[in-house]
Amino acid sequence: MRDRGFWSSDSWYTTSMEITLNLPEDVAEELVAKWQDLPRAVLESFAVEAYRSGALTAAQVRRMLGFETRYELDGFLKQHGIYLNYTPEDLERDAEVSRRFSCRR
């Protein structure tokens, strides 16, 4: 595992991390035959489990997978049987932001 990052006064910021996975050749061949883009499949599986377990937020998963919008992430998560953890407090916060923006027009 190799990471590249920098230290701020209060925390470590990782700009990227590379993880190497060693698989037996026959296992890798079977997975590539099934998924074609094995690195992407592994990354997506990791992201799904990290979100499901609460280790990553939706915003972190979106950045990690390179999705431009929240809607792309929503679709991806739904394909994997996962729905956003959207609380009534989240709804109220989003509604308040929407009200503020609509008043600026």
**Distance, CA of 53 to CA of 10 (rounded, Å):** 26
Residue tagged 């190497």 (tokens): 20
| List of residues 6+ apart from 2 with CB closer than 8 A | 17, 18
Is residue 18 domain-resident? no
Is residue 80 domain-resident? yes
Is residue 1 domain-resident? no
Is residue 59 domain-resident? yes
The count of domains in the chain is 1
Residues 70-89: what's their mean pLDDT? 88
- The encoded tokens of residue 33 equal 């035959």
Q: How confident is the model at residue 25 (pLDDT cuts 50, 70, 90)?
A: very high
Range(s) of the domain holding residue 52: 24-103
pLDDT tens readout for residues 26-67: 999 999 999 989 999 999 999 999 999 999 998 999 999 999
Q: Please say whether the beta carbons of 20 and 1 come within 8 A.
A: yes
Is residue 5 domain-resident? no
Q: What is the pTM (predicted TM-score) of this model?
A: 0.66
Residues recorded for the chain: 105
- The encoded tokens of residue 16 equal 């990227």
